[in-house]
Amino acid sequence: MNAAERQFHEEWVAEVEALGPAIKGSLTQFRRRCGKRGCKKCASGEGHLTWQLSYYVGGVHKNCHVGPGQLEAVRRALANGKALEQAMSANGFKLVKLLKGKEV
Ligand SMILES: [Zn+2]
């Protein structure tokens, strides 16, 4: 790795570090049944509003429940994941220019 490539890499690491936690997936809200006997919300058909994070790991679809206390952090991490993907796309052009010995 030459000096220009090292600088490019260090700038990338700083950019990723500044973003914070980054994830890829989708957040959906739906109503579920809790399964508890005598639950008035389930008996009325209202159910319980819940959030779920869906994502893929090695091509396998997975889900996990997201509690109200985790919702904002998960939304931020999803936004960071999108920003990271955009930054990675932009980096391809920058890297090729750098490898050709041009200013980035
Ligand atoms: Zn219920």
Neighbours of ion ligand 1 (CB under 5 A): 34, 39, 41-42
d(CA 89, CA 91): 5
Q: Where are the domains of the chain?
A: 3-99
Residue 1: beta bridge partners?
A: none
pLDDT band at 9 (very low <50, low <70, confident <90, very high): very high
Task: Tell me, yes or no, if the pTM score tops 0.75.
Answer: yes
Q: Could you tell me which of 33, 73, 38, 75 has the C-alpha nearest to residue 50?
A: 33
Q: Exposed e or buried b for every residue in 38-77, given b needs 16+ CB within 10 A?
A: eeeebeeeeeeeebebebeeeeeeeeeebeeeeeeebeeb
Residues 99 and 48 sit within 8 Å (Cβ to Cβ):
no
The CB-side HSE value for 45 (13 A sphere, CA atoms) comes to 0
Q: Tell me, what's the pLDDT at 104? A: 67
pLDDT band at 32 (very low <50, low <70, confident <90, very high): very high
| Average pLDDT of every residue of the chain | 94
Q: Residue 28 C-alpha to ligand 1 middle, in angstroms? A: 19
Q: Residue 53 C-alpha to ligand 1 middle, in angstroms? A: 21
Q: Residue 60 C-alpha to ligand 1 middle, in angstroms? A: 29
In the chain, % of residues over pLDDT 90: 88
Q: Residue 86 C-alpha to ligand 1 middle, in angstroms? A: 41
Across 29-42, average pLDDT: 95
* Tens-digit pLDDT profile for residues 47-84: 999 999 999 999 999 999 999 999 999 999 999 999 99
